Copies of this chain bind each other. A is one copy, B any other.
Amino acid sequence: MSKQFKLPEDADLARADSLAREIFSDVANKWALLIIEAIGDGTRRFTELRASVDGISHKMLTQNLRLLERNGLVERFVHPTVPPRVDYTLTEPGRELRKTVDAMCAWTTRYLREIETARRSFDA
């Protein structure tokens, strides 16, 4: 049985393990990863993200931004102006995670053709 997460020898190892699974579930989803990628190394506003993450709904964006914020991957700056302006940036953990997302995107591009071919042969 391969363990997905290497954990420190800890008294409550089981708790840490379940926490790891929980975090992984939060993070290993399409929208969260695409949002992280969209924020990138910049500062993005809500509307910018909405436009930049293709196909995401208003609700999904807020929901996932809250999730990312709660896990400390994204920082939220509310400008006390009217109309309101909110800027999102990645935190250090967020930036680190982004590196792996970058790798996943690169992987997708790299194997695009192979995958297309595999699909065609499978569908036949």
Interface of A with B (CB < 8 Å)?
Answer: 1-2, 4-7, 16, 19-21, 23-25, 27-30, 33-34, 37-38, 40, 42, 48, 51-52, 54-55, 69-72, 93, 96-97, 99-100, 103-112, 114-119, 122-123
Contact = CB atoms under 8 A, between A and B. Distances in A.
A100 to B, nearest CB: 4
User: Max chain B CB contacts within 10 Å: which of A4, A69, A114, A117?
Assistant: A4
A13 to B, nearest CB: 12
Nearest to A34: B4
A20 B109 contact: yes
B72 A115 contact: yes
Main secondary structure of the interface of A (DSSP, over half): helix
A5 B108 contact: yes
A104 B24 contact: yes
A118 to B, nearest CB: 3
Contacts of A55: 21
A92 to B, nearest CB: 9
Contacts of A27: 104, 108
B38 A118 contact: no
